[in-house]
Amino acid sequence: MANNYFTLCSLFYIVTICIAFFIKERINSVETKIYKYIILTNLFTVIMAIICFITIKHYDLIPFINEICSKTLIVLMFTFHIFLTAYIYYISTKNINKNKNSYVLEIQFTLLVYMICIFLIYLLPLYYHNENNVIYSYGPSANVTYISTVVIFIFWIYCLVRDRKNFKNKKYWPFFVFMILSLICVIIQKMYPGILVLTALETFICVIMYFTIENPDLKLIKELNMAKDRAEKANSAKTDFLSNMSHEIRTPLNAIVGFSETLSRENVPEEIKDEVKDILMASDNLLEIVNGILDISKIEADKLEIINTPYNFNKMIDELISLTKSRIGDKPIEFVLKKDQSIPEYLYGDSGRVKQVILNLLTNAAKYTLEGKITFTISSVIKGDAIRLIFSVEDTGIGIKEDKIDKLFSKFERLGVEDEITIEGTGLGLAITKRLLDLMHGKIVVQSTYGEGSKFIAYIDQLIVKDITEIKNKEMNTIVDLNVNFGNKKILLVDDNELNIKVAKRLLKNYNLDIEDVMSGQECIDRINSGNKYDLIFLDDMMPKMSGKEVIKILKNNSDFKTPVIVLTANALTGMKEEYINLGFDGYLSKPIDRKEMLKVLKKYLG
């Protein structure tokens, strides 16, 4: 057995690899299938090598069987090389778009060459050496494998050169090792034919392949990562789509809200005024839905942020109450407010988000209550500079079934849809509320009895503003008096959308302003360069050819240009305002344009 140690070790390794490979779940890829044939062929080769060792030893007794076994061993070794070639060929052509027909042709050609080689192996003579326990076979039949191996090597190099872009890819490592070791082994084998290292080398490659590129675990992880990447890409495409959609919806909404708003102030019959109010209410609902979709996409992209500033708490509560009352409308519902009077007027936090959270609870109470009472309680606990606000919204509405409460904060989840056919909603509100509360380190709890009513309690921590003179002054400056005469000050409107210009003009109508408009950034720049002077410019951001951002860059490069520029945008992402101000804009108005916000801007810049 002197020269059979390598073969015996190989048997141990290949059996282990086969067990490890076959007991685990494998992915169904072409190269994994080829690898399966590679290890099986190697297993048979090793077994056959051991059998040959015995038959050559007893050559005199069983010459015919020895001949068959020895030549079959050569055929198996040759088959191993063919499968390995198929493997390399497949991974090197993966990135090339090949058509199926050329694959079929190549397979047919390979099969033909394979059959010819097998025929030659069985036909040509093979000689045997058996001296001092050194046993091996040699001769023309064995040389067929040597020659074909050289050809295969050349073919591998061709595959590697063709796929040189992916040359460093881990999948090629085992083959580099195999090529280098094969050369060494062929030289050793030729010099010392008694050392049977070729079969062992093949097993060694199977082992390397298993631990580098063909381990079922590694492959599954790779597949999972690829699936994860695909899902992330799809998700980000969805997020982009949603924010684009929200932008697209805002633009026509701007026209609807703008015209209705001005119409509601004009001398029109009462019944038209009522209808206009309904349009405004419906637009508000639509805007709420669009904002909800935008918020959800931001939550998924992890872009939702909390921006803290000082704010007037009492004013926010007043706005919440008037919004809830308009939501209750004519329904026979009594609205009760219980407010802790010790809450300071000025707090520090994200007033927009706090308002959004509480408004959602109040709107839901108004939506899901047909009659009875809604009690809105605000209490607080003060500790040093911090205040914990505790909001409770209790209603006598339809209530929530006990088994549904767990699903309440999942997005798109509308509970008991069958009972709510006439109540509009998207199922996004509470999911956003929960996420916002998480971001503000707040909490929400629900108590509800189906058929009797629900109670939502949320708490949010805020800071107390000590020095209020600055924000008081700011507030004084922004008190909105809707009848202002700006004494023919000159305004330039820049927007590519004619309807938007019309809306803005309508909103600016009663303030005695001299309004000019242009429909592109270039025209705006031309007007400024040709010496036109304006007191204020309203500049749309999203315009074809030249965006508002590009226009402001050019305008600000001119040191003589001092006119304040307000950006108009349907891009209502949080943090956008800061971004625009950093770019050089003096102010920011989001579409649909709020008349009061617009007036604040006019008062600030036109005095």
Q: How far apart are CA 422 and CA 231, in angstroms?
A: 35
Name the one range near ligand ADP by CB under 6 A: 228-236, 248-256, 408-416, 574-582: 408-416
In the complex with ligand ADP, the residue whose CB is nearer, 205 or 366, is: 366
Give yes or no for residue 416 binding ligand ADP (CB under 6 A): yes
In the complex with ligand ADP, the residue whose CB is nearer, 260 or 364, is: 364
Binder of ligand ADP out of 174, 258, 349, 397 (CB under 6 A): 397
Ramachandran assignment for 12, one of left (phi > 0), alpha (psi -120 to 50 degrees), beta (any other): alpha
**What are the Cα distances from residue 399, in Å, to 136, 364, 371, 599?**
88, 11, 12, 42
In the complex with ligand ADP, the residue whose CB is nearer, 357 or 430, is: 430
Name the one range near ligand ADP by CB under 6 A: 82-90, 215-223, 323-331, 393-401: 393-401
Give yes or no for residue 487 binding ligand ADP (CB under 6 A): no
In the complex with ligand ADP, the residue whose CB is nearer, 199 or 454, is: 454
In the complex with ligand ADP, the residue whose CB is nearer, 26 or 404, is: 404
Residue among 178, 235, 221, 224 at smallest CA distance from 201 = 178
Work out the angle at residue 582's Cα, subtended by the Cα atoms of residues 592 and 555, and round it to the nearest 5 degrees. 85
In the complex with ligand ADP, the residue whose CB is nearer, 424 or 560, is: 424
Binder of ligand ADP out of 41, 454, 462, 590 (CB under 6 A): 454
Please list every residue from 421 through 450 that binds ligand ADP, using CB under 6 A: 425-431
In the complex with ligand ADP, the residue whose CB is nearer, 369 or 571, is: 369
Binder of ligand ADP out of 214, 261, 394, 395 (CB under 6 A): 395
Name the one range near ligand ADP by CB under 6 A: 64-72, 91-99, 301-309, 394-402: 394-402
In the complex with ligand ADP, the residue whose CB is nearer, 55 or 356, is: 356
Name the one range near ligand ADP by CB under 6 A: 44-52, 55-63, 409-417, 435-443: 409-417
Question: Rounded to 5 degrees, what are φ and ψ at 314?
Answer: -60, -40
Q: Which two tokens stand for residue 1?
A: 């057995």
Q: How far apart are CA 593 and CA 589, in angstroms?
A: 6
- Structure-token match 């308009």, residue found: 326
Q: HEC string of 78-139?
A: HHHHHHHHHHHHHHHHCCCCCCHHHHHHHHHHHHHHHHHHHHHHHHCCCEEEEECCEEEEEC
β-strand partners of 489: 513
Helix (H) / strand (E) containing 336: strand 333-339
Binder of ligand ADP out of 75, 185, 398, 593 (CB under 6 A): 398
Q: How far apart are CA 605 and CA 537, in angstroms?
A: 10
Q: Mark 242-281 with x for binding to ligand ADP (rule: CB under 6 A) and - for no binding.
A: ----------------------------------------
User: Site size for ligand ADP, by CB under 6 A?
Assistant: 22
Q: Mark 341-380 with x for binding to ligand ADP (rule: CB under 6 A) and - for no binding.
A: -------------------x---xx--x------------
Strand-strand pairing, 513-518 and 489-494 = parallel
Work out how close the CB of 366 gets to ligand ADP at its nearest, in angstroms, rounded to a whole number.
Answer: 9
Helices 63-93, 30-57: axis angle to 10 degrees equals 160
Q: How far apart are CA 463 and CA 383, in angstroms?
A: 10
Binder of ligand ADP out of 400, 566, 567, 601 (CB under 6 A): 400
385: CB partners within 8 A, 6+ apart: 463, 464, 466
- Residue 368, number of CB atoms within 10 A of its CB: 21
Give yes or no for residue 414 binding ligand ADP (CB under 6 A): yes
Give yes or no for residue 198 binding ligand ADP (CB under 6 A): no
Query: Are 563 and 445 within 8 A, CB to CB?
Result: no
Give yes or no for residue 233 binding ligand ADP (CB under 6 A): no
Work out how close the CB of 431 gets to ligand ADP at its nearest, in angstroms, rounded to a whole number.
Answer: 6
Name the one range near ligand ADP by CB under 6 A: 395-403, 499-507, 539-547, 580-588: 395-403
In the complex with ligand ADP, the residue whose CB is nearer, 63 or 416, is: 416
Name the one range near ligand ADP by CB under 6 A: 134-142, 183-191, 392-400, 595-603: 392-400
Work out how close the CB of 337 gets to ligand ADP at its nearest, in angstroms, rounded to a whole number.
Answer: 17
In the complex with ligand ADP, the residue whose CB is nearer, 434 or 549, is: 434
Q: Is the peptide bond before 592 cis (omega within 30 degrees of 0)?
A: yes
223: CB partners within 8 A, 6+ apart: 27
In the complex with ligand ADP, the residue whose CB is nearer, 398 or 437, is: 398
- Residue 486, number of CB atoms within 10 A of its CB: 19
Binder of ligand ADP out of 52, 75, 354, 415 (CB under 6 A): 415
Work out how close the CB of 102 gets to ligand ADP at its nearest, in angstroms, rounded to a whole number.
Answer: 56
314: CB partners within 8 A, 6+ apart: 345
Query: Are 376 and 338 within 8 A, CB to CB?
Result: yes
In the complex with ligand ADP, the residue whose CB is nearer, 398 or 465, is: 398
Q: Which two tokens stand for residue 206?
A: 């199977």
Residue among 392, 396, 393, 394 at smallest CA distance from 369 = 396
Work out how close the CB of 334 gets to ligand ADP at its nearest, in angstroms, rounded to a whole number.
Answer: 16
What is the contact surface with ligand ADP in residues (CB under 6 A)?
Answer: 360, 364-365, 368, 395, 397-400, 408, 414-416, 420, 425-431, 454
